[in-house]
Amino acid sequence: MAIGRARQVNRGWSRYGIALLALILTSAVGVAVGKAALDPGTLLAILLSKLPFFHVTPWWPASFETILLEVRLPRVLMGALVGAGLSVAGATYQGLFRNPLADPYLVGVAAGAGLGAALAMVAPLPPGLYALGAVQVAAFLSALITVGLVYSLARVGRTTPVTTLLLAGVAVGSLASAATSFVMFAQGDKITVIYAWMLGGFNITGWQQVLLVAPYVAAAVIALSLLGGRANVLQLDEDQARSLGVNVEMAKLGLVLFATLATAAAVSAAGLIGFVGLVVPHAVRMLWGPDHRSLVPLSALVGGAFLVAADTLARAIPGSQDVPVGVITAFCGAPFFIYLLRQQKRSVF
């Protein structure tokens, strides 16, 4: 019958195509742009020379190869992963808390990660561990522990109401932030390094970090998409959700778990980048609807494209310094959010 199909206009496969195209295009531009002037011809040549069947005699300096393969490619890939991870987490939290202001850092992930990183940096660990990514791993684990703590604190009887989850997240997050500040204060000579870590960014991203982050983000995108139907139903009140046959507690747990994994992985690799997880889901909702089954994968694609574009823009600013990508996302995100607020006619949420 007609009604269902009429809705497919903006609900079909074409939107995935558009989002994917956006990601591919921004990634291509991201790989082509940088401090080193790599023309597309050279770029392609370098890439081809690394493939088994092509034999190209290099006319480029060795540093160009390093830059393309060890700096730009992982950097762009990480941008896409972090953008995707933060966006799906943000979309999920916005649905779970039924609050348009929810972002991925709401339940204490960021504060927990920061604390873990700070502790790892001040602890007298053998240098070899740092080379292996001790700080990143510590941040990741600490984030998970923090959210676990939040979740168990928020339990009331056998349920975890979202309001207590929110409050517990804010409380524990503040505690973790305070503890981090204390660590910085107590180890004053390490303030610079700790602060540098928290500023984050993709400047020193290598393949090792990408490989550490990719599985979690991928798992989260898949799981949260699959849980999308339940996420939709959870936006009704819990009575309605239960009477529709959804195991509300398990669904909440699953959503929080995977959203946290993605955010923890993102923050441990790239620090705190704001606005992506907040704004991208709203944009996708405006374009393509609030159904989480499509909102999640689309947010992943659009979020990845957005962050890659922001980082590319940051790198295109003249000068040898690395402009923090969070500055760019804030400059883009804040006006967009104001625009959203002014949409009085219909709320996006």
Partner 1 sequence: MDNALSIENVTFKFDDRPVLRGVSLELPAGGFLGLVGPNGSGKTTLLRIAAGLLKPSAGGVKLMGRPLEGMSRGELARQLALLPQGTTLPGNFTVWELVLMGRTPYMDLLGRERAADTEIVERAMEMAHCRQLADRRADELSGGERQRVLMARALAQQPRVLLLDEPTAHLDLLHQIAVVELVAELAREGVAALGVFHDLNLAACYCTHLAVLSQGRLVAVGEPREVLTAELLAEVFEVDLCLTSHPEGGPAVLLPHTGGHRNGRGTGQLAAAESLPSIDLPSPNGKPKSGATSAKP
Partner 2 sequence: MRSITTLVLATLALVASACAPAGANSPATSATSQPTAASTTSQPATSGFPLTIIDDAGRSLTFTRPPQRIVSISASNTEILYALGLEDRIVGVDQYSDYPDAARSKPQVGSFVQPDLEKIIALEPDLILVTNIHLPTVLPELERRKLTAMVTNPKDIKGVPGSIEMVGRITAKQQEAQTLATSLRSRIDAVESRVKGATPVRTFYELSPQLHTAGPGTFVDDMIKLAGGASIAASATEQWPQLNQESLFLADPEVVLLADHEAGITPEQVMARPGWSTVAAVKANRVFTVDPNLTNRPAPRVVDGLEIVAKKLHPDRMP
Enter the tokens of residue 336.
């967009």
| The binder of partner 2 chosen from 161, 206, 229, 289 (CB under 8 A) | 206
Tell me which residues in 287-346 interact with partner 2 (CB under 8 A). 315, 319-322, 324
Q: How far is the CB of 139 from partner 1 (least distance, A)?
A: 33
As a dihedral over the C-alpha atoms of residue 284, residue 288, residue 290, residue 294, rounded to 10 degrees, the angle is -90
Q: Which of 169, 171, 166, 162 is nearest to 249 (CA)?
A: 162
Please tell me the distance from the alpha carbon of residue 348 to that of residue 342, in angstroms, as a whole number: 11
CB of residue 106 vs partner 1: minimum separation in angstroms?
18
**Residue 245 contacts which entry, partner 2, partner 1, none (Cβ below 5-8 A, type-dependent):** partner 1
Task: Provide the 10 A C-beta neighbour count for residue 41.
Answer: 8
The option from partner 2, partner 1, none interacting with 320 (CB < 5 to 8 A, set by class) reads: partner 2
Q: Hey, what amino acid is at 123?
A: A
Is the CB of 205 or the CB of 225 nearer to partner 2?
205
Residue 332 corresponds to which tokens in the numbers above? Answer: 């883009």
Which residue lies nearer to partner 2 by CB, 99 or 203? 203
Q: Closest approach of Cβ 5 to partner 2, in Å? A: 50
349 binds, among partner 2, partner 1, none (CB under 5 to 8 A by kind): partner 1
Residue 235 Cβ vs partner 1, minimum distance, rounded to whole Å: 4
How many CA atoms, within 13 angstroms, populate the side-chain half-sphere of residue 41? 3
Q: What are phi and psi of 270, to 5 degrees?
A: -125, 10
Contact residue for partner 2 among 18, 20, 29, 36 (CB under 8 A): 36
Using CB under 8 A, pick the residue from 20, 129, 167, 340 that binds partner 2.
129
Residue labelled with tokens 């060890």 = 70
CB 161 → partner 2: shortest distance, Å?
Answer: 40
What's the residue count for the chain?
A: 349
Exactly one of 21, 48, 101, 196 binds partner 2 (CB under 8 A); that residue is: 196
Phi, then psi, of 159 in degrees rounded to 5: -120, 165
Question: Smallest gap, in angstroms, from Cβ of residue 337 to partner 1?
Answer: 16
Q: Compute the chain's Rg from CA coordinates.
A: 21
The yes or no reply on residue 47 touching partner 2 (CB under 8 A) is: no
Using DSSP's 3-state secondary structure scheme, residue 9 falls into helix
242, 306 Cβ separation under 8 angstroms? no
Per CB under 8 A, the segment of 13-21, 58-66, 148-156, 252-260 that binds partner 2 is 58-66
State which H helix or E strand residue 307 sits in: helix 292-316
Query: If contact means CB under 5 to 8 A according to the sort of partner, which of partner 1, partner 2, none does residue 249 touch?
Result: none
The binding site for partner 1 (CB under 8 A) comprises 1, 3-4, 6-7, 98, 226, 228-230, 232-233, 235-237, 239-240, 242-247, 285, 289-291, 293, 346-349
C-alpha 233: how far from chain center: 24
3-class state of residue 284 by DSSP: helix
Using CB under 8 A, list all residues that contact partner 2: 34-36, 62-63, 65-67, 69-72, 121, 125, 127, 129-131, 134, 185, 188-190, 192-193, 196-197, 199, 201, 203-204, 206-208, 315, 319-322, 324
